[in-house]
Amino acid sequence: MSEEQVRHEEALRRVKAKRDLSAHAVVYLVVNAFLIGMWWFNGQGYFWPGWVLAGWGIGLVLNAWDVLLRRPITEQDVERELRRM
């Protein structure tokens, strides 16, 4: 596989991951808005949707970190690790 093909595959993987993250965020917002609406219309009280918001939110933040902030492994990273061994 040529360097160009490798770069193309990596770019394609990243575009797919970003689209999946967008879908994840939209589903998070829609479902949690529904749960908050249920809580609101059933007399409020203890804010039980907070557990879902927090738990799912942690997963969403970790997904966002993986997609947006974590850089791909480069050949320089591998070479640096080989020198340390």
As a whole number of angstroms, the distance between CA 85 and CA 82 comes to: 5
Predicted pLDDT of residue 67: 93
The single-letter code of the amino acid at 35 is L
pLDDT per residue rounded down to tens, the chain (85 residues)? 788 888 888 889 999 999 999 999 999 999 999 999 999 999 889 999 999 999 999 999 999 999 999 888 888 888 999 999 8
CA 31, CA 39: separation in Å to the nearest integer? 12
Name the pTM for this structure: 0.78
Q: What is the structure's pLDDT at 50?
A: 97
